[in-house]
Amino acid sequence: MTDLKKVAGLAGVSRATAARAFASPGLLRRDTLERVLAAARELGFRPNRLGRQMRLQTTNLIGVVVPNLLNPVFAEQFQAMEQAARARGYNLLLATTDYMADRESEVVEDLLRQRVDGLVLTVTDARSSDVLQALAREATPFVLAYHQPENPRYSAVSVDNRAGMALATRHLLAAGHRRIGMVAGSALQSDRARLRYAGYQEAMHAAGLAALPLIEMPAHTQADFAAIEPWLRGPQAPSALLCSNDLLAISLINALRRNGWSVPQQLSVMGFDGIALGSQVHPTLCSVVQPIAELAHTVIDQLLAQITGAPPVTYCLPCRIQPGESIRPYEDTTHDALA
């Protein structure tokens, strides 16, 4: 890793001044501090936060990184974590990444500079994340939320994304649907979406049916009717659609209805998350429920255990189907008029 001397040289300050930027940033002029931090970002430098000089005291701060707060699942998670952390004497610092992997590194660096004692992370792809690899090397306490990592050095709390979407697919199969599709944002931007698509494929193949290619939306939580319209025409059009998250499902239902489609009469739609909003819309949303509050409390408990020296542990919580009006049993009249 780049050393502090190189950072000081690039910023045009002494090594002692560069050290103060990380140890006591309030003692520096703002322009000096900004030059040092910019140089550190450019060189990929961060002092080892677990070094002796940085372990003399704790801040009782936890950094939280989520893709965004537009998706209520992350807002509900943050609220539950904040309550759990406050009860244990901790406060949360929040940052968002908008599903951009390069921003994940930036926001994690910023949180670590604020001396957080640990991190709760929802990243783009846990398997290939450079950020997670660096945190694990440095033994920085962190817990992944919603991920199912393959690396045993990563602590995580999630549901089984693959099994959950397989459960949803079987629910639609039991209702008589055979032409079932799945809608998600870019699969390259979410390992959860890829696992859920794999679960859908698994259940379709187990039923002796062909799985459709993933129908990708430009955004993870907002449907684009133009992107899905070509799939809705012809004799092989789906009678039901699974969505990778609830907000996308709600957005899709609205887009369909604005364009003359009736849900669930012409097309059944099912979500994944179990957010509270799903029971307040019309039609009410059928969904795979993640126990968001339980997940949030487990994440905080696991992170605080790591901070005190416990090893990483992975928890997989059970999920269930929440019935809703957005799906109905299949009837072989759905697409006749539009075929």
> Residue 192 is part of a domain; what is its CATH number?
3.40.50.2300
How many distinct structural domains can be found in the chain? 2
Say if residue 25 is in the same domain as residue 172. Answer: no
305-312, long-range: CB within 8 Å, 24+ apart, which pairs? 306/118, 306/141, 306/142, 306/143, 306/155, 307/58, 307/117, 307/118, 307/141, 312/152, 312/153, 312/154, 312/155
* pLDDT tens readout for residues 88-113: 999 999 999 988 888 998 899 899 98
* pLDDT tens readout for residues 282-309: 999 999 999 999 999 999 999 999 998 9
CATH number of the domain enclosing 35: 1.10.260
Closest CA to 295 of 66, 60, 58, 59: 66
Inter-residue contact 244 to 220 (CB < 8 Å): yes
Residue 103: inside a domain: no
| Confidence (pLDDT) at 2 | 56
> Could you tell me whether strands 320-322 and 286-289 are parallel, antiparallel, or unpaired per DSSP bridges?
antiparallel
Residue 187: inside a domain: yes
Residue 190: inside a domain: yes
Residue 91: inside a domain: no
Two structure tokens written together for 65? 């990184």
Residue 312: inside a domain: no
pTM: 0.78
Q: Cα(321)–Cα(77) distance, rounded to whole angstroms? A: 19
Residue 130: inside a domain: no
Q: Show Cβ contacts of residue 165 under 8 Å, excluding neighbours closer than 6 positions.
A: 182, 195, 196, 197, 198, 199, 200, 203, 242, 272, 288
Say if residue 25 is in the same domain as residue 166. Answer: no
Say if residue 21 is in the same domain as residue 168. Answer: no
Mean pLDDT of 31-50: 78
* pLDDT tens readout for residues 64-83: 999 999 889 999 999 999 99
Residue 138: inside a domain: no
Say if residue 199 is in the same domain as residue 327. Answer: yes
Cα distances (angstroms) measured from residue 136 to each of 50, 59, 224, 243: 12, 20, 38, 33
Residue 172 burial (CB count, 10 A): 26
Q: Which domain covers residue 248, as residue numbers?
A: 161-291+322-338
Say if residue 195 is in the same domain as residue 329. Answer: yes
Residue 243: inside a domain: yes
| Confidence (pLDDT) at 315 | 93
